[in-house]
Structure 1
Amino acid sequence: MYEFTIIVPVFNEEENLERVEQELLKYTRIATKKTAVLFVNDGSTDGSQELIEAICNRNEMFSFINFKENRGLSAAIKAGFDTVETPLVGYIDSDLQTAPEDFNLLLEHITHHALVTGVRANRKDSFVKNMSSRIANGIRRAFTHDGMDDTGCPLKVIKTEYAKRIPMFKGLHRFLPAMVMLQNGTVLQVPVQHFPRMAGTAKFGLWNRLLGPLMDCFAYLWMKKKYINYEIKSKG
């Protein structure tokens, strides 16, 4: 029935969820692929789950997964990848600092690539946040040689067959292009809009935006060395 599923990780975002519903509903009316939405509630302790259930009850294209406890963004994305059944999967943050309509820009190119990621043009974040992200992206590129300028952009489209083969660990959401490239898939980055956070609080600080990713680079190098990749020529 659906061709594309948008994963929306949620952790204590009750102030944003009604706007998420409105914006994603508007997007489903203009989407170039028939689109479903999957909330992944990452152990929220506020009223997020009640709002998610209400949204899903009144919109048939919305569904949810509710974690027993907070496990982090990478776990939420991984759970979404494991759950979706559509040929294409994407994700967007519930703070809506990126625009759902920009998924159409990414979907234009997905036929010829395994992953298409947004690049936040004219970012509306603080100086410290922008600089720490720029440094972290530079360090990651030096380790992975993925050529990506902004892997932290929370707007991506991936062919589901590639997404399901990504061996996720905590922090690996920043390495999605590199992990797709390990599968010999091609990746592309496309400029997208960026907006200030309207409500709620950011979940990432200096540690998990800069120092944490540096440590994750070493985990990626180990995984790259050990990664198993094969193609079946024939069966009998």
Structure 2
Amino acid sequence: MSESEIPGVTVVVPVRNEAGNIAPLVDEIEAAMRAGGPFEVIYVDDGSSDATGAELERLEATRPWLRHLTHVRSCGKSAAVRNGVKAARASIIATLDGDGQNDPVAIPRMVAELRDAGPHCGLVAAQRLGRQDTAFKRLQSKVANVVREAFLDDGTRDTNCGLKCFPRQVYLDLPFFDGLHRFLPALVRRDGYAISLIDVVDRPRLSGVSNYGFFDRLWVGISDLAGASWLIRRRKKIPELVGSPPRAV
């Protein structure tokens, strides 16, 4: 292990305009993670126009395990997650949304599930119970999940839950595109890994309002689904190499 690497877990939290949710969620993450060994938390501020950046700087001053990255303009959730994973120093990554709806108490259980499953498992993903969104948002999610499952057969009813845990290198080996975070189960399975699913209880937002609306995501989601489907169809299994063992020179 190099000096830049750490044992344990890196928690990556993408945020945009979530100033009111930063402090309470940071405290919850610390409470969930502190008994489980070394950890770090990386917030990725995706071009916020509120006090999100200032709040993160304030909290960093007293929490050496906390750091944050900033996009000078909003690049989307997938880019924020990817940049957080690239900056991570642990080999195991956990992600969750920054609005407080994902309870960090689930992270240690997900990490244990990933470790116990062994190297054949590439992803532990949470599925929400008791969704706290509006009836319209629950309906659109239900329709989107039915359509996605029909195209991708990814084996999960709730791919959009932000709570996920995976080996860092498995994630970085995936083809990157805007919207990747919505298709992790399908793409991890595409690369030959098993996925594990756990149920978690959804919570109301701590404060503020969602940064994403129905029409913001509708047409982008359709094109992303077509792209993910194409990637899966075009995947070819690379055969194992057979050859002579290395010789001393």
TM score, norm. by length of structure 2: 0.88
- Alpha-carbon displacement from aligned partner over 1:177-236 (angstroms, at most 9, x marks no partner): 111111101111100121111211102211245443222111112222444664664674
Whether the aligned pair in 1 keeps the contact of 2:189 and 2:195 (CA below 8 Å) is yes
Whether the aligned pair in 2 keeps the contact of 1:123 and 1:194 (CA below 8 Å) is yes
The 5 Å alignment of 1:114-125 reads 114-125=122-133
Distance 1:52 1:228, change over 3 A: farther
Q: Using the alignment, how far apart are the partners of 1:64 and 1:140 within structure 2?
A: 33
Q: Using the alignment, how far apart are the partners of 1:231 and 1:53 within structure 2?
A: 48
Deviation at 1:87, TM superposition (A): 1.5
1:20 to 25, 36, 52: 25
Whether the aligned pair in 1 keeps the contact of 2:32 and 2:108 (CA below 8 Å) is no
Q: Which residue of 1 aligns with 2:41?
A: 37
The range that moved more, 201-210 or 215-224, is 201-210
Q: Which residue of 2 aligns with 1:3?
A: 8
Q: Using the alignment, how far apart are the partners of 1:83 and 1:231 within structure 2?
A: 31
Q: Using the alignment, how far apart are the partners of 1:175 and 1:106 within structure 2?
A: 19
SS of the residue 2:19 aligns to: coil
Q: Using the alignment, how far apart are the partners of 1:177 and 1:33 within structure 2?
A: 27
Whether the aligned pair in 2 keeps the contact of 1:133 and 1:209 (CA below 8 Å) is no
SS of the residue 1:178 aligns to: helix
Q: Does 1:201 align with 2:206?
A: no
Q: Using the alignment, how far apart are the partners of 1:71 and 1:125 within structure 2?
A: 24
Q: Which residue of 1 aligns with 2:195?
A: 187
Q: Which residue of 2 aligns with 1:88?
A: 92
Q: Using the alignment, how far apart are the partners of 2:104 and 2:67 within structure 1?
A: 17
Q: Does 1:214 align with 2:229?
A: no
2:64 to 60, 65, 70: 60
What percentage of residue pairs aligned between the two structures are identical? Answer: 27
AA matched with 1:159 = P
Q: Which residue of 1 aligns with 2:73?
A: 69
The structure with the larger Rg is 2
RMSD (Å), alpha carbons: 1.8
Deviation at 1:154, TM superposition (A): 0.9
- What count of residue pairs does the alignment treat as equivalent? 235
- Alpha-carbon displacement from aligned partner over 1:83-126 (angstroms, at most 9, x marks no partner): 21311001111111011011122123102121000010111111
Q: Which residue of 2 aligns with 1:159?
A: 167
Whether the aligned pair in 2 keeps the contact of 1:2 and 1:36 (CA below 8 Å) is no
TM score, norm. by length of structure 1: 0.93
SS of the residue 2:59 aligns to: helix
Distance 1:56 1:228, change over 3 A: farther
Whether the aligned pair in 2 keeps the contact of 1:3 and 1:34 (CA below 8 Å) is yes
Distance 1:208 1:150, change over 3 A: farther
Q: Which residue of 1 aligns with 2:145?
A: 137
Please list every run of 5 or more consecutive structure 2 residues that lacks an aligned counterpart in the other structure: 1-5
2:101 to 81, 84, 97: 97
